[in-house]
Amino acid sequence: MEINGMAHVMLTVSDFAACKPFYEKLLGALGMKPVIDFDGMYYCVGGRTALGIMRADEKYAKERFVQTRVGLHHVCLRARERKDVDEAHVFVKELGAKIVHPPEEAVFAPGYYSVLFEDPDGIRIEVNHVPGKGLLAEDSMRSGRTPP
């Protein structure tokens, strides 16, 4: 058995009114198209995946995302080219996103290059580019690198 990518990610947000415009702009800029858009849920498809947000239960409306709590750590979207990471950085700065780190290289895979930022709820989103086969390349498999 072998998977064929990730079908979708759904994020529960406490401040839907602040998060929806953020995701409308972000996902639209990333080439994703809305397929569900109603009060309390926004869901887009594109790039062989889908990403959506939905409103949290009222009892959680005052909470913010905590990256080290059990559950989601962050969402990483794969860019086709390194320059797309740079463009994403400029775009999310214009959106007013908190930049955790600007575009930079990392040791996770050969050529790993990414930007990391937060949505209005503090959920961390990364846009990365890894050239070629990344960790699936023979040299990477022998190097003993561990994925992020």
61-114, pLDDT tens digit by residue?
Answer: 889 899 999 999 999 999 999 999 999 999 999 999 999 999 999 988 889 999
- 127 to 1, 16, 56, 58, 112: CA distances (angstroms): 28, 22, 25, 30, 11
Confidence category of residue 129, pLDDT binned at 50, 70, 90: very high
Give the model's pLDDT for residue 109: 87
23 CB-side CA count, 13 A: 33
Give the residue with greater pLDDT, 106 vs 144.
106
Q: pTM for the complete prediction?
A: 0.87
Q: Is the pLDDT of residue 138 over 80?
A: no
CB 92 within 8 A of CB 120: no
For β-strands 124-129 and 75-78, DSSP reports them as parallel
pLDDT given for residue 137 in this prediction: 64
**Does residue 130 register a pLDDT over 50?**
yes
Tell me the fold of 9-143: 2,3-Dihydroxybiphenyl 1,2-Dioxygenase; domain 1 (3.10.180)
